[in-house]
Structure 1
């Protein structure tokens, strides 16, 4: 029986490790929780203190002081009793013998699930710390999808750890600070919890770059008297004007944090003086209509800067943030940044999803910020199902946490928020994965545009689809949202695997035929035994590995036909006399690559070379490198073009032209007239009379190429054309 099964009295756990902190917590909770729930939180402290008895932090304090401090942070946000109990017990499952069943019995299944969601995966084994952290993060996000309170506990846990980071070793401080700035502060921002975000950023910046933080902090504290006087003057003029308009308001000047100043210096390449020379104010008024009234009031004092007004009340940010933002031309030549919002908006801006927290069992729905957060987490969970690994999932989340967003309208008037620099293709995937996979173009404000077009806030976007359209590798070059990137990668991986299996099947068939056998004639038992020996779960995996060059088809064929005992040494070639070629149809692009040294195209005599990890690399038979490859006959693959080969193939042309204006345009026009795409143009040589250019173009076959070359040679400015 567990030592925690009997209820423990406070006296049973020895001297109270942190009496003052617990009393302060209870006093704060009594302001908004009924007495029975306050007692429940006290009971969680008793169980937690007993579980952590004898454990200390790096600073030497009793360990229980940390969970109590975490609960204190959440109490400031006025979270419910279950969340506070889970916060006090959040390290108990991981660091103590306390079983989950005990938490369920003492409190509830919900509290146990919250604790389990926050618990890290340190007891499992991973290749390195980075993978362990990524998998731990993935688990936390899955728990967060079930209950958003998991992330609130984790953020409070991280905030207290950052507040007490000085006791850690220097390397650990930097690692934890970097993780905080890259992951947890952006999550807090994404959930609208700006107060916690700001403190995480400041503490992370101080730990990661202590000297830079010190310099900027001193400059903020030591502002010149003239600037302080200017700030007071502007504030007085605004307060006077708002009073004249009869607007009840709360007006405060805003001081930029060291982290925001540092990031602005880096992003905008500005000096410290330029960034500091910005005045900031926040005006809080009772109602939405008074926000616009106050906007008119401040615009009547100072002129607004063109294109610097943002209305986040009409179109809220994805995290629920609402406010009016305007930048004014101040009396001292410096910009004056003003935010105007209601008291309710101000609370949401500070606390985000923790504002007006509604406990589910109360029967009421959550706030708009909570609903948006749930949608965001749901999209993340859709993405994690197709992510290849925890590290890939974590990178996708980092992309999604990009703070700057654009707000776009669907044809029906719905609003979608996407990361900055999002394209029409990102929008298509935001609508639905199937819409993205079959997208061909888009109409932005009723104007037809390509999928790679970058979008701006306020635009209306309609996606045009076609059943035959599918994603290509080049799409990854211009999407920025994690949902689009994950969906495209998933599609390409599946396609590449199918192509690899098909090509591997053909390669193995050819090798078996050389041994006067075939897959149909090999017994199922022999194949099963071979897969077990080579550690493959399915035959498809072995065939894919053959296509990718990780297994030699001739050796696999001998294993299938003769068994392990007569497997020849590496380097054994196919039996003499085999001449059957593998035909290229054009559908094998996922696993076949075409050599950049000779650019083979349909119609050329070709051969394949099996390269580990790359698969089959196709060369022209007259390529200078082929002689070296033939020294390894087991890797040489006889190949030819299928009669119905499809697709465009890259080829390089060396063109000698007269050196005069307009020549490049004439050559490009000739290439375009033959319906060929130009991939790249490069000047190789140039003198007074003659220039040599190298064009990389796409053609379907040798006949097609001959037509392009004829068109170019007809130009009077061209002296010669040669295929490279």
Structure 2
């Protein structure tokens, strides 16, 4: 089968003139039947998009073509590109999704539907900057978004859509611009970082920063005093010189680099509390070598080419960071007398940094480490790295469909806070997660505004509201596994605990009566209750009396102590742990 773009020239020539440049840009390496599908998706979408525009007045067709071009640049398959073209159809017509199924099949339609469901993020209120727990809330939203989709291509299409929107954000009003930029910085740029889609991540961060902190953005851009193209040219020259010198010294290495982006420069200045002049990795390159000794050989080569900057060498190989990150970092005066950072590590160290416990996003964000979630992200990154090596579309689709996040369900409180629960959790599990007392008083639940039974299985992204009585307790039916009211062991334990102690006051009263009768029978004076309680290892007298009333502490133990008052002096006598038969006294 022919894969060169020239074989598709008749398809491009016959296309709408407005589409020809776009089809040409994505045609290389695609089979004819794939381009036929993309051509059909354009014609299908145009019927819905004609005369419509997005915020800022950009034509809807132009917006979706831009989104699809970004998807193509990520080397995704033709189905993902077609879904990017068609993603706005359901917004234009209530029957749009059904018509996509009919015209393009379920695979493309599922991608379009997934993008629409991810769009629900706009409805989720987020925490203010000053509010406590904002980072935890944002992390919950990111996890929920990943869990809401069964195909990771949906997330990539959504990231492409957001990138295209951000490029045109200058055309919208200031409030919309600020809100979109904040949401992008909080949710979508970190998602791109997690998945290792670096080019998207950098662009989203820079664009968000530009609209959120316009003066700071301009100041740093001016301090750079270079256009991005010039910075990229500089890095390419550095790479060429460094590769030649390493090869001349017998070091087999992979050398790559990128100019530091404006937002990452700002983050470093803020994190280290330094001025721009002290940020030495505005331009940075990374050297990957085969073994440990080559790391130090490569370091010697770097220092022989360019003058090291004093105090800017860190040996994280000899002294790893707390998260086991290992690498050599040095800063030098590079070509044109410009500061340059060089990172040197082995391939194994690099894999550990990118995929292991020292994952790039954890280091950069400085958030809590979730090892289980980190492993899932590492797997998704591997899938994304393999996509260029997998030529079978069916195999690729199956690899992209993931069950990784199906052990947890993410739902929302009425206030928009994300709550993570065990998969197949119910509204009762949700209630007990929020507060034990709310679980005990739960009598009903609304899910997305609809009354649902308490054994309803919750789905990702649903909003849950608990209907509770002013007082009351749980039902014993909730503990019946056949009825399916409870999935969480924690909630089940709370219910059992309630039944175990629901007669606490009654038991304590009974224990007091038993104690007084026993003292009267023996003809002795009762010692202070707090001392008696401590003798049996209870901190509260009421707990001791309740244990006596339930039979956990026996009258025989009490009689021994009361006959020998000197024994009531400390926790020398432990209560029996097994429940003893209750006595009526006397």
Q: Structure 2-normalised TM-score?
A: 0.56
Aligned mate of 1:77, from 71, 74, 90 = 74
| Aligned mates of 2:567, 2:164 — CA distance in 1 | 68
For 1:61, the equivalent position in structure 2 comes to 58
- Residues 96-143 of structure 1, C-alpha deviations (whole Å, 9 max, x = no match): 344322111111101111101111588999797999x99998885444
The question of whether the paired residues in 1 share the 8 Å contact of 2:287 and 2:345 is answered with: yes
Larger displacement relative to structure 2 (64-73 or 213-222): 213-222
Q: Give 1:297 deviation, angstroms.
A: 2.1
Q: Give 1:336 deviation, angstroms.
A: 3.2
| Aligned mates of 2:123, 2:237 — CA distance in 1 | 59
The question of whether the paired residues in 2 share the 8 Å contact of 1:79 and 1:354 is answered with: no
The question of whether the paired residues in 2 share the 8 Å contact of 1:251 and 1:284 is answered with: yes
For 1:382, the equivalent position in structure 2 comes to 407
Alignment of 1:322-721 (within 5 A): 325-328=327-330, 330=332, 336-338=341-343, 352=381, 353-357=383-387, 358=390, 362-363=394-395, 374=402, 378-379=404-405, 381-384=406-409, 391-393=416-418, 493=432, 497=436, 501=440, 545-546=470-471, 582-583=505-506, 643-644=545-546
The 3 A distance-change label for structure 1 pair 266 and 543 is closer
The 3 A distance-change label for structure 1 pair 340 and 119 is same
Q: Give 1:584 deviation, angstroms.
A: 7.9
| Aligned mates of 2:206, 2:410 — CA distance in 1 | 34
| Aligned mates of 1:393, 1:543 — CA distance in 2 | 20
The question of whether the paired residues in 2 share the 8 Å contact of 1:188 and 1:196 is answered with: yes
The 3 A distance-change label for structure 1 pair 491 and 297 is same
**1:54 is paired with a residue of what secondary structure?**
coil
- How many residues of Structure 1 are paired with residues of Structure 2 in the alignment? 412
Q: Does 1:149 align with 2:153?
A: yes
| Aligned mates of 1:232, 1:192 — CA distance in 2 | 22
The question of whether the paired residues in 2 share the 8 Å contact of 1:584 and 1:640 is answered with: no
The 3 A distance-change label for structure 1 pair 271 and 137 is closer
Aligned mate of 1:282, from 280, 285, 300 = 285
| Aligned mates of 2:432, 2:180 — CA distance in 1 | 34
Q: Does 1:119 align with 2:116?
A: yes
**1:582 is paired with a residue of what secondary structure?**
helix
The structure where helix makes up a greater share of residues is 2
The 3 A distance-change label for structure 1 pair 325 and 45 is farther
For 1:25, the equivalent position in structure 2 comes to 22
Alignment of 1:88-127 (within 5 A): 88-120=85-117
The question of whether the paired residues in 2 share the 8 Å contact of 1:180 and 1:204 is answered with: yes
The question of whether the paired residues in 2 share the 8 Å contact of 1:134 and 1:391 is answered with: no
Aligned mate of 1:49, from 43, 46, 53 = 46
The 3 A distance-change label for structure 1 pair 542 and 188 is closer
For 1:298, the equivalent position in structure 2 comes to 299
| Aligned mates of 2:274, 2:248 — CA distance in 1 | 38
- Residues 357-409 of structure 1, C-alpha deviations (whole Å, 9 max, x = no match): 24775346988xx69xx57xx34x43325775793338x79xxxxxxxxxxxx
Q: Does 1:176 align with 2:177?
A: no
Larger displacement relative to structure 2 (490-499 or 37-46): 490-499
Specify which structure has the bigger relative contact order, considering alpha-carbon pairs within 8 angstroms and separated by 6 or more residues.
2
Q: Give 1:78 deviation, angstroms.
A: 1.9
For 1:258, the equivalent position in structure 2 comes to 262
Alignment of 1:124-135 (within 5 A): none
| Aligned mates of 2:77, 2:199 — CA distance in 1 | 19
For 1:308, the equivalent position in structure 2 comes to 316
For 1:166, the equivalent position in structure 2 comes to 170
The structure where strand makes up a greater share of residues is 1
The 3 A distance-change label for structure 1 pair 263 and 67 is same
The 3 A distance-change label for structure 1 pair 294 and 31 is farther
The 3 A distance-change label for structure 1 pair 50 and 326 is same
**1:336 is paired with a residue of what secondary structure?**
strand
For 1:199, the equivalent position in structure 2 comes to 203
Larger displacement relative to structure 2 (210-219 or 27-36): 27-36
For 1:39, the equivalent position in structure 2 comes to 36
* RMSD over equivalenced CA pairs, Å: 5.7
For 2:556, the equivalent position in structure 1 comes to none
The question of whether the paired residues in 2 share the 8 Å contact of 1:283 and 1:341 is answered with: no
The question of whether the paired residues in 1 share the 8 Å contact of 2:144 and 2:410 is answered with: no
Q: Give 1:215 deviation, angstroms.
A: 0.4
Q: Give 1:274 deviation, angstroms.
A: 1.6
- Residues 241-281 of structure 1, C-alpha deviations (whole Å, 9 max, x = no match): 31312457675664311111111122222222222x34644
| Aligned mates of 1:124, 1:237 — CA distance in 2 | 46
- Residues 458-479 of structure 1, C-alpha deviations (whole Å, 9 max, x = no match): xxxxxxxxxxxxxxxxxxxxxx
**1:546 is paired with a residue of what secondary structure?**
coil
The 3 A distance-change label for structure 1 pair 96 and 333 is closer
| Aligned mates of 1:492, 1:706 — CA distance in 2 | 44
The question of whether the paired residues in 2 share the 8 Å contact of 1:583 and 1:641 is answered with: no
The 3 A distance-change label for structure 1 pair 125 and 537 is farther
Aligned mate of 1:221, from 220, 225, 247 = 225
Q: Give 1:47 deviation, angstroms.
A: 0.7
